[in-house]
Structure 1
Amino acid sequence: MAQPCAGDHPPRSLPLLHRGRQGLTCRYRCGDACARPEPNRSANPYFGEVLQTVLDRRGVLRAGAVLGLATGATALVGAAGASSAAAAPAGPLPAAPERSPAPYGLNYETVPPNTDDAVRVPRGYAQQVVVRWGDPIVPGPPEFDFDGQTAEAQAQQFGYNNDFCGLILLEGPARRWVMFSNHEYTIEPLMFREYDAAAPTEEQVRIGLAAHGLSVVEIVRDRTGRITVDLAGSRNRRITGTSEFVLDGPAAGSSLLRTSADPTGTVVLGTFNNCSGGVTPWGTFLSGEENVNQYFANADPADARLARYGFEEGASERGWETVEPRFDLAKEPNEANRFGYVVEVDPHDPRSRPVKHTALGRFKHEGATVRLSKDEHAVVYLGDDERFDYVYKFVSSKTMRNGHSRQAREHNKTLLSDGTLYVARFTGDSPQADGSGTLPEDGAFDGSGEWIKLVSGSTSFVPGMTAEEVYVFTREAGDKVGATKMDRPEDVEPHPTTGHVYIALTNNTDRGKAGKAGPDEANPRVDNKHGHVIELVEADDDPTGTRFSWSILLVCGDPADPSTYFGGFDKSQVSPITSPDNVAFDTHGNLWISTDSGAALGQNDGLFGVSLRGDTRGRTTQFASVPVGGETCGPVVTEDFVLISVQHPGDVDDASPANPGSTWPDGPGTQPRPAVVNIWHEGEDGRPARIGI
């Protein structure tokens, strides 16, 4: 039976102390990155230091800005397929906006902000859990037993903290897809009743290794709208922290990537902290390795290159080095260089080894999304999710081959093995931002920018760095060429119809602090606790080029806050939104945003629909919210259903297995379990209807 929608009964909230997350998510997801000095200590310039150059070129910049604004506001034609934060403010939650005329595809009853221990969806919508942590995904493993976990069972069960979710429709009469999920990280104190962080058992370490990685499952949707996992699916498999991966691309085999266990520098065990990802036009899945530094121990404190990626001396949080020496950098210093890449998985060949693409650079990859140029070069957009780090782009040297032949498939799986890697520099067209978030005199945060070439094949364009060094130490290369320091660029996705690129900048409370980069037009607020969204337009609609214009679509937060901006739309008609994380698009051209750190506004995280066209441009309304302590991830938005991934439900103050912070999804007396949720619109005749219509 579908769980109740938001309008079925008054929401039940947990006590106030459960509104904010405890430190476990920060400790186990990113190693408390926001509580430590950011790794980017470079002195590359920001807007205020290059303002005179900007003013000298003002006419050119204004032309680019006008292009961005005009194309951003143009109606879409046709359709395409598918931190940490400050303490929650005191007082009541903001009220939901009154209903206003809704754009096509966003016609749903807005879900109000809440702190309920449940997934809330609009009235008239139903929901169900598709798969949760510990559910079998292949025949054979036992049903999940919280107090009887084993590494052997976990390696055949759905992993922990699923983030990105992607679908590929399979041929045939049934509504069947292959679904791909990342398992970003584990939170051992919430996974085990008896857990000693100072001395984890070997079995707990091996369960943690198995709970990381990726899941590939076949799913089927029935006539009622429900989705189930087909355990007999031929493509089903788990990829874990001990699975074998291939390193490919220009840096493969480099001396920087060789270890005692792998003197070839081409084979790696495992993938960790896989955050967002993408679905390629040639039918594979991409996954970004993000905060990999936290899994390693005993980094050399004098090694500036390790420090630039956040590796630290001393023991690691999880203590994996006590069981597997490869995580001890004092013994295997190059093992660190083998993580932090974009991974590609072929879901149609369960025997194939996933590939780590060195050509796309090494940094804290949030994800990777692909747009094809007119001549079918693959263009991949990439964000480095760290305070004051950068936005990147990769352009393949080869072009995609159409068709389903084996030769075409094998060729297309090499597209990300060779090409040119760029990093972005943003330039504003107004005087220096004052940090308040107030719009400049010209009425928009906007400007132009350039993609700075870093490396292509075996040729480096960064002074003092070889090509191999650029691929392995990509952050250092971005520092040297003066890339723009951004407020945690997470998902970077091209619109499937317009090609405009949307960049979710989650937050950066260090912006403007003493000794750190100040505000600029692309990052206009000091103490940016709520984040913003940038719309980037490639010059001449050519994603292989080196020039772009940009404008800020949303400056997030409480609509009553003067520093917020919703594309010029009436702020009394929008939902409060904070910390944009992942983005997606529907077939009507609307943008959908999932959030991370709703506690910054005293509310649970959620999924929001945003209009991009006409008079409703910037209209932002909440479609769903997730349980207390959880995070909304990996949205998939189709005409018929929406999938959201719920991470770390119940990670709230004082939570533990003895005192769970949530009982979602299985109800009283159970432990919280991350899961994928299916949401669909129930029509008046009881059959599924279109989303947002």
Structure 2
Amino acid sequence: MAKQDIDPNYLDPNYEPAVNHTENPTFASVLSARMNRRVVMKGSVGAALASLMGASLVGCSDSDSDSGNVGGSGTGASNTELGFKPVAVSTENRAVVPEGYTAKSFVPWGTPLTGSYPEYRADGTNTGADQEQQVGMHHDGVHFFPIDQKAGGNSSTEGLLVMNHEYINQGALHADGPTRAADNGGVRPADEVRKEIAAHGVSVIHIKQGTDGEWEVVHGSPFNRRVTGNTAMDIRGPVRGFEKLITKHSPDATETRGTLNNCAMGPTPWGTYLTAEENWHGYFATADETRPREYVRHGVDSTSRYDWELADNGADEYLRFNVSTLGATAADDYRNEANTYGYMVEIDPFTPESKPQKRTSLGRFGHEGVIFAPAVEGQPLVCYSGDDSRFEYIYKFVSAQPYYAATAGGYLLDTGTLYVARFNEDGSGDWLALSLEDADFAAAVTAAQGTTVGNIAFDGFSSQADVLVNTRLAADIAGATPMDRPEWGAVDPNTGEVYFTLTNNSQRTEDQVDAANPIAENRTGHIIRWMEDGGDHSADSFMWDIFVFAGEQGTETVVDGEAVVTLDDTNIFNSPDGLWFDYNGRLWIQTDGSDAAPYQNNMMLAANPVTREIKRFFVGPQGCEVTGVVTTPDTRTMFVNIQHPDGNWPNSAESRPRDATVIVTRDDGGVVGA
């Protein structure tokens, strides 16, 4: 029986069951203790912050800064000004943009992309083979790679638009909806399963702007590519060859098939695309009475989301989703298959024949993208990632080898140290190494042996590979701070500050209400930011504060007794999710929350990180999540992804909704947002 047949919440893309049962101090309690000295509340919906660091972190209030000018016009802080008229909230089934802007849908699910370029059929009768050659479903993290990037260029008229596809709408995918195993003798039609797996993954789309300004897919381009839930992939980093990844398909634990539930992403400094495996655990099922800790800590259980393991042809590529112990050894079945998921996956869009690489040094958890700090010649490479689930953690990876632009590549992600964040009461923070070579972590591991960590009986780690496969458990033991669903991150190109969205935590109880989160079952979230010690992203400590609290009209973010942000009709929002700094330094905030009043449809706002001014720039169609945003290098064309829309968007003549990208441009050809 599929997960949604037992619990309909599994059909909700926001549903991440809490599986962290440790008692590490929550972020709410830490923030509350920090604020008790100097907190004030403003109104019944007020949210307060008493910063011990002043009105902003180091660098934020420097309006004379002219560093980091990487696009558009002007320099430094002047680039962050918001020159558009904000749009109102909307319930319309269309993309709403400011006056003087135009929005057009582009490359919707099913767009012909590779091979024989099979046309999309509005009646849902495309086959699994068709879907393997078409743009996938549920568009999410997106990046534009200039076509001449490898040669040092920055074309804004031609490039590779690369996006991942988080999950699927089974009802829209099939002509008459999915065939349930429970209604079909315990099996599902194999081609339905093939089509569903093919709708996941990544699309690499070669696009070009014509002289008329319109963008088109370059048909026949060798760069056009689909990476699906069944594409062959290598395991790289310390987990390669580890016994807990041995499967019938790969007895030496060096390979796997597919990437699933890809949510957010991150472009690397050397021009590749990292896609994040988030809620991968729901695709697998085990009948084993005793589950290994790798499955318990992530929620792999007796039911799978789509029953792929029940495909009626019994093909090995589908049986692998049954992670029960069936054979004499791990090489005889797929008991370890789910351990080959939960990583960042590197794809080279400029080399279509290349094999995707699962970069295990970055940890195994519910990745919500990855964000790189600016790469500095001769210095370690640094990147950040959130674990998108309630009460989970924020991580940082620091490479062992220094970055050199001339030779940089994915190998930099195979050796290094993974850290997890602890937020302290005094506004400081620490990065806790998850390495057996670190004395503090090794001592914590020793102390925890023979105890129960959360709901897991802990008996130690056999190796660093074991630590990484059990990243969440390692973070529990290290003493990390559980957060309210850490999702996308972004690094300010002008100051180096790191921002993260904390989307919400509907499981907050009345007993957990505090000054930072004054509403039980908090569904509005906030955005946190920090500056690494000395401005060095590889530092082991930082200073943090809250950039803004989301909420309805009147919600205030208060610093030292002064409201630095008061939300009104022009900028109310809830559940911040997507986050991106454009090349000038404007911060773009996307939402995936309640579509009820007063917020209505999900949206995207722009923020000036210097002044904390926030304006609503974009509202999506009905029922959608607004997720994934990028511009061309000249910042004159913006690409915004729309996921799981309702109704018949974007084509009113069709009955099925289609996820799509929206192209946003200024009518006068100017910089978007300026």
TM-score if structure 2 supplies the norm length? 0.83
Tell me, in whole angstroms, the C-alpha distance in 2 between the residues paired with 1:397 and 1:540: 20
**Partner AA of 2:125 in structure 1:** G
Q: Which stretches in structure 1 are left out of the alignment for 5+ residues?
A: 1-22, 83-101, 430-446, 651-661
| Conserved? CA contact 1:534–1:550, under 8 Å | yes
CA contact under 8 A between 1:29 and 1:186: conserved in structure 2?
no
1:218-262 CA distances to partner (integer Å, 9 max, x unpaired)?
111234432221123221110011100110001111001111221
Corresponding position: 1:689 with 2:670 = yes
Pick from 557, 574, 580 the counterpart of residue 578 of structure 1: 574
Name the SS for the 2:179 alignment partner. Answer: coil
Q: Please tell me whether the aligned partners of residues 549 and 556 of structure 2 are also in contact (alpha carbons under 8 angstroms).
A: no
Deviation of 1:74 (Å): 2.5
Which residue of 653, 666, 672 corresponds with 2:657?
672
When residues 513 and 249 of structure 1 are mapped into structure 2, their CA distance, relative to the original with a 3 A threshold, is: farther
Match of 1:587 in 2: 583
CA distance in 2, matches of 1:522, 1:570: 15
Give the equivalent residue in structure 2 for 1:266. 254
Does residue 164 (structure 1) correspond to residue 147 (structure 2)? The answer is: no
Deviations 1:579-625 (A, max 9, x none): 11111112332110111024154510111101111xxx222111111
Name the residue aligned to 2:108: 132
Residue in 2 that maps onto 1:471? 468
1:393 pairs, out of 386, 393, 396, with 396
Rounded to whole Å, the distance in 1 between the matches of 2:145 and 2:620 is 25
Residue 72 of structure 1 deviates from its aligned partner by 2.7
Identity of aligned residues (%): 34
Deviation at 1:115, TM superposition (A): 0.9
Q: Which has the higher mean CA deviation after the structures are superposed, 162-171 or 636-645?
A: 636-645
* CA shift in 2, pair 1:376/1:233, >3 Å: farther
8 A contact 1:559–1:574 mirrored in 2? no
Is this contact kept in 2: 1:554–1:567, CA < 8 A?
no
| Cα 1:143–1:555 shift into 2, 3 Å | same
Report if aligned partners of 1:250, 1:457 keep a CA contact under 8 Å in 2: no
Q: Secondary structure at the match of 1:509?
A: coil
Are 1:454 and 2:434 an aligned pair?
Answer: yes
Residue 157 of structure 2 corresponds to which residue in structure 1? 175
Structure 2 gap ranges (5+): 1-5, 39-49, 72-77, 312-317, 327-333, 446-459
1:402 alignment partner, one of 402, 405, 416: 405
> Of 338, 341, 349, which residue of structure 2 is paired with 1:339?
341
Report the Cα offset of residue 178 of structure 1.
Answer: 1.1
Match for residue 550 of structure 2 among 548, 556, 561: 556
1:122-166 Cα deviation digits (max 9, x unpaired): 111112222010001125122101332111111110000010001
Q: 1:567 to 1:169 in 2, by over 3 A?
A: farther
Task: Note closer, same or farther for the CA distance 1:174–1:560 as it changes in structure 2 (3 Å cut).
Answer: closer
CA deviation string 1:257-300 (max 9, x = no partner): 11122101111100000000111111111111000011011254
Distance 2:371 2:568 in 1: 33
For 1:191 and 1:261, locate their aligned partners in 2 and report how far apart those are by CA, in whole Å.
29
Please tell me the residue identity of whatever aligns with 2:275. S
Which one of 251, 260, 277 corresponds to residue 289 of structure 1?
A: 277
1:161–1:24 distance in 2 versus 1, CA, 3 Å: farther
CA RMSD of aligned residues (A): 3.0
> For the structure 1 residues 27 and 202, does the alpha-carbon distance in structure 2 shift closer, same or farther, using more than 3 Å as the test?
same
1:523 CA drift (Å):
6.1
Residue 649 of structure 1 corresponds to 645
Hey, what's the Cα distance between the residues in 2 that align with 1:177 and 1:208?
28
1:414, CA displacement in angstroms?
0.5
Change in Cα spacing, 1:72 to 1:525, as seen in structure 2 (3 Å) is farther
SS at the partner of 1:425? strand
Call closer, same or farther: CA 1:520–1:399 in 2, change over 3 Å.
farther
1:136-535 to 2 correspondences below 5 Å = 136-145=112-121, 146-171=123-148, 175-194=157-176, 195-197=178-180, 198=182, 199=184, 200-298=188-286, 300=288, 302-303=290-291, 304-313=293-302, 315-323=303-311, 324-330=318-324, 331=326, 332-372=334-374, 374=376, 375-403=378-406, 408=407, 411-429=408-426, 447-455=427-435, 461=442, 463=445, 464-465=460-461, 466-512=463-509, 518=512, 526-535=520-529
Give the whole-Å Cα distance in 1 for the aligned partners of 2:381 and 2:125: 46
CA shift in 2, pair 1:49/1:563, >3 Å: closer
- Contact 1:633 1:647 (C-alpha < 8 Å) held by counterparts: yes
- d(CA) in 1 for partners of 2:618, 2:30: 42
CA contact under 8 A between 1:103 and 1:611: conserved in structure 2? no
Q: Tell me how far apart the structure 2 counterparts of residues 238 and 24 of structure 1 sit (CA, whole Å).
A: 32
Over 3 Å counting, the alpha-carbon distance change for 1:52 and 1:150 in structure 2 is closer
What residue is the counterpart of 2:25 in the other structure?
A: 45
State whether residues 522 and 552 of structure 1, in contact with CA within 8 Å, keep that contact through their aligned partners in structure 2. Answer: no
The equivalent position to 1:111 in structure 2, one of 87, 97, 101, is 87
The question of whether the paired residues in 2 share the 8 Å contact of 1:131 and 1:676 is answered with yes
1:531 aligned partner, one-letter code: G
- The 2-side partners of 1:550 and 1:174 are apart by 36
For 1:603, the equivalent position in structure 2 comes to: 600
Q: 1:620 aligns with which of 614, 617, 622?
A: 614
| In structure 2, C-alpha distance between the alignment counterparts of 1:25 and 1:564, rounded to whole Å | 39
**CA pair 573-77 structure 1, distance change in 2 beyond 3 A:** farther
Larger mean Cα displacement after TM superposition, 315-324 or 280-289: 315-324
Q: Which moved more, 1:600-609 or 1:628-637?
A: 600-609
The structure 2 residue matched to 1:635, chosen from 623, 629, 632, is: 629
Bigger mean CA offset, 222-231 vs 261-270: 222-231
The answer as to whether partners of 1:578 and 1:600 remain within 8 angstroms in 2 is: no
Segment drifting more, 453-462 vs 227-236: 453-462
Task: Tell me the SS of whatever aligns to 2:296.
Answer: helix
Contact 1:47 1:521 (C-alpha < 8 Å) held by counterparts: no
Give secondary structure in 2 for the equivalent of 1:428: coil
Q: CA deviation at 1:574?
A: 4.0
CA distance in 1, matches of 2:109, 2:509: 40
Cα pair 1:384 1:490 within 8 Å, conserved:
yes
Over 3 Å counting, the alpha-carbon distance change for 1:419 and 1:112 in structure 2 is: same
Distance 1:72 1:642 in 2: 25
User: In 2, distance between residues paired with 1:174 and 1:49?
Assistant: 47
Which whole-Å CA distance do the structure 2 matches of 1:454 and 1:363 have between them?
14
Instruction: Indicate if the aligned counterparts of 2:249 and 2:256 stay in contact, CA closer than 8 A.
Output: no
1:311 shift after superposition: 1.1
Structure-1 separation of matches of 2:603 and 2:638: 13
Counterparts in 2 of 1:606 and 1:223: CA distance versus 1, 3 Å: farther
- Distance in 2 separating the partners of 1:80 and 1:572: 31
Offset of 1:508 from its aligned partner? 0.3
Call closer, same or farther: CA 1:53–1:24 in 2, change over 3 Å.
Answer: closer
Secondary structure class of the residue paired with 2:336:
helix
Q: Distance in 1 between matches of 2:563 and 2:606?
A: 13
What's the secondary structure of 2:53's corresponding residue? helix
For 1:623, what is the secondary structure of its paired residue?
Answer: strand
Out of 127-136 and 558-567, give the one that drifted further: 558-567
Contact 2:557 2:565 (8 Å CA) reproduced? no
